[in-house]
Amino acid sequence: MTHSLYGPLPDVAGDAGYDHGHPPRMGFFTDTSVCIGCKACEVACKEWNLLPTGAGADGISGLSYDNTQALGANTWRHVAFVEQPATRPDGSVDALAAAGTADAVDLGMPTVGAPDGGVRWLMSSDVCKHCTHAACLDVCPTGALFRTEFGTVVVQPDVCNGCGYCVPACPYGVIDQRHDDGRVFKCTMCYDRLGAGMEPACAKACPTDSIQFGELDELRERADARLAALHDDGVADARLYGRDPDDGVGGDGAFFLLLDEPETYGLPPDPVVTTRDLPSIAKHVALAAGAVAVAAVAAFLGGRR
């Protein structure tokens, strides 16, 4: 094992052992500022990947229009609907709207990004982040999880033994076990389609290009330009999430443009690859083991005293 566990990594596939001719790293840029919550990505993903149904079995969730609720073994794209009382232009939260006793007259003037005085509705299509440093892959004991030549992270269901080590390892809570046999499933970035030169099903189906697929380097440039345009338009809270190669996971292969704090969308604010400290853990473990050994020897020696 020579690959690094933390920090920027320019050639993630190369680091995984692919030779120089491997394809460029591919990724998703999900621009939530143009997501209309149509859920075409969810449906296209399930159709292409033949995923089981089952969401909504208990009727509506009551969580706005989100009846899928979370990413899971059978849901590899999930559109979050964040319904919130709007913040007024002066920064104060409209207490009437918040308290649900909306008085139509005094709700304040609408603003860009929060189009209604009483509420704003953010939509965002979530997906596996295909981390530069993927802890799920690092902890997989069977090799079911592997890094593809496109730099993505894929599970092989015929190799997975259902141990579930990867589940707590994922800093985003993405990877999930099926209830029947415990095997894990998640987004493959449509590895089969990529191999045939096609874009992933979700990106293909997205009507507003909220989900963009392409070479990660180019997507990052596109995202930077879009962010600058939004800032110029006064959307000050717009930010990129998972774009920075210096972040805790070395940057995401699937990154986002958000209109608010990551927590608003249910995303961790500062994810860190859970295997970051493996080397130091190993060192500490070795030290500790050494200390135990010394103590044990000392005990024996002492016993002989």
Binding site for another protein (CB under 8 A): 34, 36-40, 42-43, 46-47, 53-57, 59-60, 62, 64-65, 67-68, 83, 85, 97, 99-105, 107, 109-110, 112, 115-116, 118-123, 207-209, 229
Closest CB to another protein among residues 112, 286:
112
* Shortest distance in whole angstroms from residue 286 CB to another protein: 50
Closest CB to another protein among residues 85, 271:
85
To the question of whether residue 206 is assigned a binding role by annotation, the answer is yes
* Shortest distance in whole angstroms from residue 253 CB to another protein: 25
Rounded Cα–Cα distance for residues 59 and 61 (Å): 6
Closest CB to another protein among residues 61, 156:
61
* Shortest distance in whole angstroms from residue 133 CB to another protein: 33
Closest CB to another protein among residues 1, 104:
104
Q: How large is the C-alpha radius of gyration of the chain? A: 23
To the question of whether residue 136 is assigned a binding role by annotation, the answer is yes
CB burial of residue 222 (10 Å; 0-12, 13-18, 19+): middle
To the question of whether residue 106 is assigned a binding role by annotation, the answer is no
Q: Are 201 and 49 in contact (CB under 8 A)?
A: yes
Q: Which of 263, 28, 196, 229 is nearest to 125 (CA)?
A: 28
To the question of whether residue 35 is assigned a binding role by annotation, the answer is yes
* Shortest distance in whole angstroms from residue 24 CB to another protein: 23
To the question of whether residue 38 is assigned a binding role by annotation, the answer is yes
- Residue 157 has which token pair? 């269901």
To the question of whether residue 31 is assigned a binding role by annotation, the answer is no
Closest CB to another protein among residues 83, 224:
83
Rounded Cα–Cα distance for residues 56 and 64 (Å): 13
To the question of whether residue 160 is assigned a binding role by annotation, the answer is yes
Rounded Cα–Cα distance for residues 9 and 16 (Å): 11
To the question of whether residue 202 is assigned a binding role by annotation, the answer is yes
* Shortest distance in whole angstroms from residue 124 CB to another protein: 11
CB burial of residue 297 (10 Å; 0-12, 13-18, 19+): exposed
* Shortest distance in whole angstroms from residue 101 CB to another protein: 6
Residue ranges of the binding site: 35, 38, 41, 45, 128, 131, 136, 140, 160, 163, 166, 170, 187, 190, 202, 206
Residue ranges of the binding site for [4Fe-4S] cluster: 35, 38, 41, 45, 128, 131, 136, 140, 160, 163, 166, 170, 187, 190, 202, 206
